[in-house]
Amino acid sequence: MRRWCQFLSISVLLTGLTLVTGLSAVAQENAQDGVSEEADPDMQAVCQADTADPLSVANACTWVIENADMSDQDLATAHNNRGNAYLATRRAREALTDFSRAIELAPDFALAYNNRANTHLAMGQFDEAFADFQEAIRLNPFDATTYFNRGNAYLDVGNFEEALNNFDGAIRLDPENPRFHYNRGLTNLYAGDYEGAVGDFTRTIELDPTQSNSYTNRGNAHLSLDRVQEALADYDHAIEINPSDAYAFTNRGNLYRTLGREDDALADFDMAIRISPMFAYALSSRGEAHRTAERYVDAIADFRVALRATPADPFLHNALAWIFATGPDDLRNGEQAVEHARIAVTEAEGPDTLDTLAAALVEAGEREEALARYEEVMAYGEENVRLYQKFLKEAGYYSGAVDGIMGRGTRRAFEACIRAGCQPMR
């Protein structure tokens, strides 16, 4: 049985609508430790404002920095606040310069270390970010936000244990913050602790019941525990809270498919795509529904649009390659099949993508490489050999034992099948 959803699994999809990386939400509030009274009061107020638009803050802080007579600490505060404004407008290098200047002026300024760490994260400089987080915590070990930010950084690099440790630290210091419980729930979901994830998302909902993604991800955790009705109830609730939640519609659609409710699934996929026309997850899910129903033209159309949003997605390339290699005669195209299959293997080499590449090579007439690729699939384990042997036996090319051993008889059967233009299936 071909495992079509290897690369796109509802059980691990994370909505991530808010607070996954935290970079836009966690740069700490503009410091208000005081800018000299010599500064223009209006400019001072805007430079310190948390609610002003970033461009206004940057301009005000620039005026304060260039014109006000102030202490080093006050000047550091202005640089910190302008750095936050730059980071909010994706001017990371300028933000980094400001935070570094703030630290030069006030070496014990924990807030500036925290914000410079966030800037390093935005630039993909993880070692530097962790060093700054460590210094920020040394200077102020009671700041929950710094633990939260460092937890997000560990989550970004896939270190779930350290991410959980830091989210635990943030929660100990600020147990009523729903963001902290939510991101710990995401980490538990990634790490496979689904009960832990359910508990975290439940606490998030208790603290803030207005966020649909908390219900969606709790639904994902329930589904991973085979609690289908609980998952469905959570997806329903997410959609009730936010009728524009394309993730919730797509996840519910995939759940409907597992329940055999194909019409309901298509309706949900259609709604998700109406909400977000280039949402690759919804497009690929609907494409897969079309493919399994043998509506191949519709499937190809959805997969191709999805590829415009996620050009390197191995699931999409693998799905298209399989249709072009093994679909109806009027859709078969060996050249396109091989092109898509090679990309899929490059992005996610494994038995499924290699099997698709082998079938594509057969369709393209490249028999020797096709056999080599089938052998690579079988190297992943005896079960793959047995599945091929079973197919070859039923197709009349193999008369030996279905024993999972790639012997001469199995190889001759492969060669005969490929010469005839057939594509061994697992």
- Summarize pLDDT for 112-163 with one digit per residue, the tens: 999 999 999 999 999 999 999 999 999 999 999 999 999 999 999 999 999 9
Q: Which residues 6+ apart lie within 8 Å of 136 measured at CB?
A: 110, 111, 113, 114, 117, 143, 146
Question: How does residue 267 score in pLDDT terms, banded at 50, 70 and 90?
Answer: very high
Positive or negative, the Cα torsion across 32, 33, 35, 36? positive
Read off the pLDDT of residues 278-331 as tens digits, 9 standing for 90 and up.
999 999 999 999 999 999 999 999 999 999 999 999 999 999 999 999 999 999
CB 197 within 8 A of CB 190: no
Of 38 and 110, the one with more pLDDT? 110
pLDDT value at residue 1? 26
pLDDT value at residue 9? 29
CB 200 within 8 A of CB 222: no
CB 85 within 8 A of CB 54: yes
CA distances from 14 to 113, 250, 420, 426 (A): 30, 12, 45, 30
pLDDT value at residue 259? 97
Rounded (10°) angle between helices 280-292 and 314-326: 20
Block residue for tokens 């949003």 = 309
Q: Which two three-digit tokens encode residue 48? A: 């310190």
CA distance 10 to 134: 36
Q: Which residues 6+ apart lie within 8 Å of 55 measured at CB?
A: 85, 89
Q: Nearest CA to 77 among 37, 109, 54?
A: 109
Percent of the chain at pLDDT > 90 equals: 86
Block residue for tokens 């051993």 = 405
The rounded mean pLDDT for the chain is: 90
Tell me whether residue 329 is exposed, middle or buried, using C-beta atoms within 10 angstroms of its C-beta: 0 to 12, 13 to 18, 19 or more.
exposed
Q: Which two three-digit tokens encode residue 389? A: 């042997």
Average pLDDT rounded to a whole number, residues 250-267? 97
Tell me whether residue 14 is exposed, middle or buried, using C-beta atoms within 10 angstroms of its C-beta: 0 to 12, 13 to 18, 19 or more.
middle
pLDDT value at residue 49? 77
Question: How does residue 11 score in pLDDT terms, banded at 50, 70 and 90?
Answer: very low
Helix (H) or strand (E) holding 247: helix 246-258
CA distance 250 to 230: 16
CB 134 within 8 A of CB 17: no
CA distance 322 to 299: 12
pLDDT at position 37 over 80? no
pTM for the full model?
0.83
Read off the pLDDT of residues 224-248 as tens digits, 9 standing for 90 and up.
999 999 999 999 999 999 999 999 9
316-322, long-range: CB within 8 Å, 24+ apart, which pairs? Answer: 316/280, 316/284, 316/287, 317/341, 317/343, 317/344, 317/347, 318/7, 318/344, 318/352, 318/353, 318/356, 319/4, 319/284, 319/287, 319/288, 319/291, 321/356, 321/357, 321/359, 321/360, 322/2, 322/356, 322/359
Block residue for tokens 């270390």 = 113
CA distance 147 to 77: 21
Rounded (10°) angle between helices 382-394 and 367-378: 130
- Residue 213's Cβ-side half-sphere holds a number of Cα atoms within 13 Å equal to 17
Q: Which two three-digit tokens encode residue 308? A: 């415009």
CB 76 within 8 A of CB 112: yes
CA distance 332 to 339: 13
Read off the pLDDT of residues 385-425 as tens digits, 9 standing for 90 and up.
999 999 999 999 999 999 999 999 999 999 999 999 999 98
Question: How does residue 32 score in pLDDT terms, banded at 50, 70 and 90?
Answer: low
